[in-house]
Structure 1
């Protein structure tokens, strides 16, 4: 298992998902590839892909050294478990915090907050049956941002946040576009926000989505 080096959490959830993908690719390679040179290229390619996520944190690179030793699923699980202490959790949310983000939304049912592992989300999303709206909370440039909108036309498609194919719906928010004018903006996003969080491997599309709602 990865040795616990005394450092502050520095891995975002989307980066951890990317690392998981690299580890999975490596395990698959060991089960299908016999050429040792090819395997070595895959091993060190995975390591390079991971450390390139953290260009200014060279002092933490040794945390990832063990990836080149991974051959089997159990090794992969132990390696990823060893990285858990270094994951940056999403900002802790309480019912009071959520209420401030959505002051016009009354009687939101937020019991599910107690079941959320904040180390496994890049954003928080849920559908409120009572208001028939989907609510999204982002940590955008260090500040919490809440957006609510309709969520309809469910279909199979590609999510604009995680870029994976699956069950999606059209999220549409009414946002301010001028001094006294509003416009509807949005895109298709995953029906299951928890699953979407598990698929996110970068912030690029998420930030584009937010910028579209802001501007």
Structure 2
């Protein structure tokens, strides 16, 4: 049943790709699953490499953008890049269709646990809100939702990019 679910996620697999996923049927214990996932690491497509120049192009209005220390990130384990600056300003960078897209907004930490809109898991969350252009000349609309306070934890919890893309689409 697991193999069926995996193959449904990737409907256009080649025979070689199916052969890589074939050992999934032998997984019976958690240790077997860890070994199988360890073998798949070589096939993981990493998040696009980001530089400080990329960040400045994505957020041209942010004059005092410091950005995160990019050399501390393992891009193979990222689904998105997120960081907080000046305690309440948060930046998110996602990759979609081979290009980078950025969203920034305010982030208010809370001492509450809830369901994150990005990873869809229960964790310590905060309210992320972004201003978007409204229908009028100078009209702006604030939109947002609760997301994990720690983007590293959120990245490790992500199973599918569906929720991440829905969240960014809501903000834009």
TM superposition score normalised by structure 1: 0.73
Distance 1:88 1:104, change over 3 A: same
Measure the CA separation in 1 of the matches of 2:5 and 2:154: 22
Instruction: Report the more deviating stretch, 186-195 or 136-145.
Output: 136-145
Is 1:127 aligned with 2:84? yes
Higher percent of residues as strand: 2
Which position in structure 1 is the counterpart of 2:36?
79
Which of 125, 137, 148 is the matching residue for 1:168?
A: 125
The structure that has the greater radius of gyration is: 1
Which position in structure 1 is the counterpart of 2:145?
187
Which position in structure 1 is the counterpart of 2:22?
65
Which of 124, 129, 151 is the matching residue for 2:107?
A: 151
Measure the CA separation in 2 of the matches of 1:198 and 1:143: 22
If asked which structure has higher relative contact order (CA below 8 Å, sep 6+), I would say 1
Deviation at 1:119, TM superposition (A): 1.4
Specify every segment of 5 or more residues in structure 1 that has no aligned partner in the other structure, as ranges: 1-44
Query: 1:1-215 counterparts in 2 under 5 A?
Result: 45-59=1-15, 60-129=17-86, 132-154=88-110, 155-178=112-135, 180=137, 181-214=139-172
Measure the CA separation in 1 of the matches of 2:64 and 2:20: 45
Aligned length: 169
- What's the secondary structure of 1:144's corresponding residue? strand
Measure the CA separation in 1 of the matches of 2:160 and 2:34: 22
User: Aligned Cα RMSD in Å?
Assistant: 1.7
Distance 1:125 1:111, change over 3 A: closer
TM superposition score normalised by structure 2: 0.89
Higher percent of residues as helix: 1
Specify every segment of 5 or more residues in structure 2 that has no aligned partner in the other structure, as ranges: none
Which position in structure 2 is the counterpart of 1:39?
none
